[in-house]
Structure 1
Amino acid sequence: MIRGRVRQVAALRWRTGGLLFAVLVIVALPYLITRGGSQQSLAAGERVTRSAEVQALVYRIADQTYDSETAIQHLLMDDPSGHAEVAVQNTQRMVPDLLDQLRRMTEDNPDQARLVERLGAVENGRLALQQQAMRRYQQKDAVGAAQALHDAGTLYRTEDVADKIVAGAEQELQHRREDARTQSRDNSAALALTALAQLVMLTIVVVVSERQIGKRLRAEVGERQAVQRSQMILQAVREPIALLDHHLRTLLVNAAFSELYGVPEDSRAEHVDDIGQGAWADEILQQRLRDVLLRDRELWDYELTQRTVDGVERHVVINARRLQQQDSESPALLLTVSDVTARALVEQQVKELNHQLEGKVAQVSDVNRELEAFSYSVSHDLRAPLRHITAFAQKLETHLGAEVDATTHHYLGVIRDASQRMAQLIEDLLVFSRLGRGALRLQAVDMQALVEETRTLAESEAPGRHIEWRVESLPTVVGDENMLRTVWQNLIGNAVKYTGQCKTAQIDISMQRNDGGDYEFTIGDNGAGFDMRYVDKLFGVFQRLHKASEFPGNGIGLANVQRIVMRHGGRVWAEGEPGRGARFHFTLSAVEPPSPDGWMAS
């Protein structure tokens, strides 16, 4: 949204700049061209006028010089005139001033300036001879005066230089007139191009304006449609939503808010204190809402119990955040309400059930501890009488000696075997009891080494057997080494035992990672197997699926396996089929298992 707003501002700036440029081209360029043409035309006119003035000054200088000589000639011809001496004096005074004006007017033309300087030199010489002629005339030397006047006309030919100056001025006048005509044509062409540029720019402005107007209209239509859709969505949302101003008065509410708190959907400027018959009168909540407006802090999951207009007491969760209104400098507050009454009731029920469950677990733990203590006590107390039975049976057999008959010998053997079997059962029961009470001594355990050790022991106890082993690479885990050794001894021992009737026993040991990331170990064989209908009995204490005459054992090994694996946080299960072998699986965590109550790690 922010990026779109930035792009709109940038586009508006570019459009404004383009419009200003178009105005500059349409208005300023013609003005500048017209002004430049006028200034050039004025300059050309001034240059033409100056050329004419140069010609006039040259003619005036020449006329003034000729008038002075004519007045002197009249004096020499005894035709005196009272104005002759005045004419000579005027010429002597005016010609230098006229020459100075001529110099200033031709100083921008080097050729003309040189001719003017030459004209000045000629005029100075000629005026000097005229003064000499006047002095000689005044001295009654008519011949000398005539000679001086003749020399002035012969030596200093003003008309030659004046003709050159006039010719140059005439030529410059023609050039300047031609330049003026060229400038006029250029101005006309520039004005035509300017008019064309104006037409093009006006066309572009009109086209762009029409497009912008079209885009603006489409944007306004889209905005109205978006507003309508957002209002439809807002009203369709079943979660109560309200928009408040900076005084916590309503600006907008949706249908769910109106229905829950009894506020009309077109309600405006209604303070939260007046909403829902005091449902929002909580001072702490209002202070939190003001903090959201003043400090721009979002309010997350504020829990509150409200009594709504339907008289129901509800548990609600309130969230609020500050929004900046586009048409106002004051911020607004977006308020959302979630009714969690059902969840609160469920949580309360869950708490009560958890409390009850904790009590049950404590009771079960007490019962288990009592059972383990009872089992240990019974097993320990039974060992002494059993030893007495075995000892006295042996003494009785020794006392009878050779006189004992076959039946008595058989009975004594049964007593002895039964007592030994019972002693083994008691020993296994004590081991099972210790597995439930002993502390776990967690450490790094190399499962590969344990399997190799157990396999070597199993092969030594089954001499002459042909067993094919397939053992994959096994990891190092964290656990109690002695307990995990017991697991492998029971599982591998069972695999060796129940493949005793196979010509070639096949035992596979593998590991893989399950979906939860834990290690899953598998021990498979091709032995007697079992019926899956009785799989639940496998891990029970003293539970057997085969006769003792077929496969020896007391049925407690798998119970020990299950207890050890469960204490390590794993689980154990089995798969089998009669005559086709069995597969036992157990899992161990890939990380250090947690230590529950009653566990100890060293």
Structure 2
Amino acid sequence: MSSSALPQPLSNWRLPALGLAIALIVVTPFLLLRGAAQDNDAAQEMVAHSYRVEARVHALASDMRNLEAGALSLAAGVDNPALRARVGESRARLLPTLQELQHLTRDHPDQQRRIDALQSNIVLRKARADSIIDSDTVVTAAEIDAMVARYPIHELITAIIGEEQRLLAIRQARAERVERRTRIGAWTAMFAQLLLLGGLFAYSTRQVSHRLRAEHDALRASARASVVLDTVREPIVLADHDLRVVMHNAAFAELYGVSGDARGQRLADIGGGAWRDERTLRRLGDVLARGRELWDHEQVQRTADEVERTMLINARPMPLPDRDDAVALITASDVSVQKASDRQIRELNRQLEGKVEQVSDVNRELEAFSYSVSHDLRAPLRHIAGFGDKLERHLGEGIDDKSKHYLEVMVSSARRMSALIDDLLVYSRLGRSALRLQTVDMQSLVDETRAMLDSNNTTEAPGHAIEWRVAPLPVVAGDENMLRQVWLNLLGNAVKYSRGSEPARIEVACQRTDDGHHFQVRDNGAGFDMRYAGKLFGVFQRLHAASEFPGTGIGLASVRRVLARHGGRIWAEAEPGAGATFHFTLPVMGDMPGPNESST
């Protein structure tokens, strides 16, 4: 038996047990309180009985005193209507009061005996008083003494009141005990009922909480499903066996112009007949009738915006928790853009094939041009330079200054043109040769380039001092020969353009960024005007005169080409007379272009 089945029997006994507990806690305190209330009433009644007996005895004594006082007053010659009325009232109350006392003390034999004796004395004293009151003769002192002393009642009244006070104390003590038990019972019953009510409240709260939580979870799940369904921008519709709409999302209503709730409508009537395609409807009907799934079925539909779209329809059976039968989950994806893109890509590929042919022709022409430059142009230049030297030696000392100047200009121009051709060929090869990717230690490349530049500086400018500040540099992926060309051009320019500054300070640094490595080469040389920074990396573009700083104007263009082929870029910051800073970036190894990729 699984553990989930165990709580069921307990739940069967829970309600009867709860009902029995309610009956016990409600009925038992009621019975106890009723008995305690009856006992309390009885005790209070006995207390009140004692008070009534005592009050009747005092009333009897008072009436007797009034009667005797009236009799004495009349005997003394005082006679008036008020006195006789008071005497009459007291005389009339004596016997009824005695009868009431006998009735009140019928359950107490001792008191009955005392009251009988008291009654006898009072009757006799009343008879004496009546004779005095009714007599017209003078009352003697002996008669008054006989009335008072012969039939005493004071001791009997005191005894009766004393006994009643003793009984009163006992009855009051008993009444207090009963009242105390009643209070304790009431508090106990109240606490028990509070505990029961607390248990009932906790149980009902837990049950209500569970129910509310379940309902809340169900509502949240339903709302979440509705929100998710409406959030999806792909049209979604659920249909039954008759292909009638069970549910749809907002994207479906928007695309097919559905206003309000389309539940119960036939799918073929939705969207002005957009779904009225026999082949599509038949295949959708097979989804539920035969338990099949429909995948990537294309249909051209005219939607609510009067645009023909190519829709990719998918459908599969799906059970719903509130239905006995399954429904078909149908999704319609608009692939019109993809279709148009495919057509455009095919057209672009066709055009690209023509461009590839053109590029191949251009590359063959460039190769022919490079061959012509490297062979056909070099020979005439060598002849001009060589024969110019021979002509100068042939003329010897007889050559005048003007002729010598002409020969020097001719030879130097030929040599400059040869250098331009060499740099141009290097620039061309940088764009055409394949990348040979490998790990390159930039620190080693900078050290090698620095050593070569220091050697050349010692020969060409012996008095020029250079302070090098090279920070640690990383290992990158790239073509080692091309990256060597980068450092040779950048550091060579820094040395060349800082010859007017003593000492020259050249700094090389690198920082790692999110995109790769960021290198800087900074000098304190001549600098340049940032207005002309756009020309800096063009072929044969120079920002300084050749007489001031020698060069062909191709070095920075070569650097830009190498870095572009490596997926990096270069830019510069400078100020005239305050030096320049060249920045360039290289991506990390995973972002490097392929060995056969090229970049302009």
Q: TM (normalized to structure 1)?
A: 0.58
Deviation of 1:301 after TM superposition, in Å, equals 7.3
In structure 2, the residue matched to 1:591 is: 589
In structure 2, the residue matched to 1:470 is: 469
Deviation of 1:491 after TM superposition, in Å, equals 1.0
The question of 1:410 aligning with 2:405 is answered yes
Helix, strand or coil: the match of 1:335? strand
In structure 1, the residue matched to 2:320 is: 325
**CA distance, structure 2, for counterparts of residue 29 and residue 224 of structure 1:** 35
The question of 1:502 aligning with 2:497 is answered no
- Assess if the C-alpha contact under 8 Å between 1:250 and 1:270 holds in 2: yes
Deviation of 1:533 after TM superposition, in Å, equals 1.7
Deviation of 1:572 after TM superposition, in Å, equals 2.0
| Residue number among 9, 13, 16 corresponding to 1:23 in the alignment | 16
- Assess if the C-alpha contact under 8 Å between 1:272 and 1:281 holds in 2: no
User: 1:62-101, CA deviations, whole angstroms, 9 ceiling, x for partnerless residues?
Assistant: xxxxxxxxxxxxxxxxxxxxxxxxxxxxxxxxxxxxxxxx
Letter in 1 for 2:473: L
Using the TM superposition, name which of 321-330 and 282-291 deviates more: 282-291
Deviation of 1:199 after TM superposition, in Å, equals 12
Q: 1:475 and 1:318, CA in 2 relative to 1: closer, same or farther beyond 3 A? A: same
| Residue number among 434, 454, 465 corresponding to 2:449 in the alignment | 454
Letter in 2 for 1:573: W
Q: 1:291 and 1:377, CA in 2 relative to 1: closer, same or farther beyond 3 A? A: farther
Using the TM superposition, name which of 462-471 and 247-256 deviates more: 247-256
Using the TM superposition, name which of 326-335 and 365-374 deviates more: 365-374
User: 1:319-351, CA deviations, whole angstroms, 9 ceiling, x for partnerless residues?
Assistant: 656543223333333434444545654665566
In structure 2, the residue matched to 1:307 is: 302
In structure 2, the residue matched to 1:557 is: 555
Deviation of 1:480 after TM superposition, in Å, equals 2.2
The question of 1:251 aligning with 2:253 is answered no
Identity %: 53
In structure 1, the residue matched to 2:98 is: none
Q: 1:462 and 1:338, CA in 2 relative to 1: closer, same or farther beyond 3 A? A: same
The question of 1:279 aligning with 2:272 is answered no
**CA distance, structure 2, for counterparts of residue 400 and residue 420 of structure 1:** 21
Using the TM superposition, name which of 267-276 and 581-590 deviates more: 267-276
- Assess if the C-alpha contact under 8 Å between 1:376 and 1:433 holds in 2: no
In structure 2, the residue matched to 1:138 is: none
Aligned 1:8-87 pairs, distance under 5 A: 17-18=10-11, 20-24=13-17, 26=19
Q: 1:449 and 1:336, CA in 2 relative to 1: closer, same or farther beyond 3 A? A: same
- Assess if the C-alpha contact under 8 Å between 1:532 and 1:575 holds in 2: yes
Q: 1:494 and 1:259, CA in 2 relative to 1: closer, same or farther beyond 3 A? A: closer
In structure 1, the residue matched to 2:483 is: 484
User: 1:191-250, CA deviations, whole angstroms, 9 ceiling, x for partnerless residues?
Assistant: xx9xx9999989967996698679869987997899799879978987644222356432
Deviation of 1:472 after TM superposition, in Å, equals 0.9
Letter in 2 for 1:502: S
Aligned 1:189-338 pairs, distance under 5 A: 240-245=235-240, 248-253=243-248, 257=252, 260-261=255-256, 272=267, 275=270, 277=273, 279=275, 281=277, 283=279, 287=283, 304-308=299-303, 312-318=307-313, 323-338=318-333
Q: 1:285 and 1:548, CA in 2 relative to 1: closer, same or farther beyond 3 A? A: farther
- Assess if the C-alpha contact under 8 Å between 1:529 and 1:579 holds in 2: yes
Using the TM superposition, name which of 575-584 and 216-225 deviates more: 216-225
- Assess if the C-alpha contact under 8 Å between 1:293 and 1:332 holds in 2: no
Letter in 1 for 2:550: P
The question of 1:425 aligning with 2:400 is answered no
Q: 1:227 and 1:449, CA in 2 relative to 1: closer, same or farther beyond 3 A? A: closer
In structure 2, the residue matched to 1:530 is: 528
**CA distance, structure 2, for counterparts of residue 293 and residue 347 of structure 1:** 36
Letter in 2 for 1:250: V
- Assess if the C-alpha contact under 8 Å between 2:538 and 2:556 holds in 1: yes
The question of 1:390 aligning with 2:385 is answered yes
- Assess if the C-alpha contact under 8 Å between 1:304 and 1:315 holds in 2: yes
Deviation of 1:445 after TM superposition, in Å, equals 1.8
| Residue number among 534, 541, 557 corresponding to 2:539 in the alignment | 541
- Assess if the C-alpha contact under 8 Å between 2:237 and 2:330 holds in 1: yes
Deviation of 1:579 after TM superposition, in Å, equals 0.9
Q: 1:198 and 1:552, CA in 2 relative to 1: closer, same or farther beyond 3 A? A: closer
**CA distance, structure 2, for counterparts of residue 22 and residue 479 of structure 1:** 82
**CA distance, structure 2, for counterparts of residue 454 and residue 586 of structure 1:** 17
- Assess if the C-alpha contact under 8 Å between 1:240 and 1:337 holds in 2: yes
User: 1:287-344, CA deviations, whole angstroms, 9 ceiling, x for partnerless residues?
Assistant: 58866998798x8876543234776421234465654322333333343444454565
- Assess if the C-alpha contact under 8 Å between 2:311 and 2:334 holds in 1: yes
**CA distance, structure 1, for counterparts of residue 489 and residue 448 of structure 2:** 13
Question: Over aligned residues, Cα RMSD in angstroms?
Answer: 4.7
Q: 1:230 and 1:211, CA in 2 relative to 1: closer, same or farther beyond 3 A? A: same
Q: 1:324 and 1:398, CA in 2 relative to 1: closer, same or farther beyond 3 A? A: same
Letter in 1 for 2:409: V
**CA distance, structure 1, for counterparts of residue 212 and residue 560 of structure 2:** 77
User: 1:439-487, CA deviations, whole angstroms, 9 ceiling, x for partnerless residues?
Assistant: 3333222111111111111111112322111111112222222222221
Deviation of 1:363 after TM superposition, in Å, equals 3.6
Letter in 1 for 2:482: M
Helix, strand or coil: the match of 2:457? coil
The question of 1:514 aligning with 2:513 is answered yes
Deviation of 1:567 after TM superposition, in Å, equals 2.4
Structure 1, unaligned stretches of length 5 or more?
1-9, 31-192
**CA distance, structure 1, for counterparts of residue 445 and residue 350 of structure 2:** 43
Q: 1:499 and 1:212, CA in 2 relative to 1: closer, same or farther beyond 3 A? A: same
Helix, strand or coil: the match of 2:520? strand
**CA distance, structure 2, for counterparts of residue 203 and residue 551 of structure 1:** 99
**CA distance, structure 2, for counterparts of residue 399 and residue 423 of structure 1:** 24
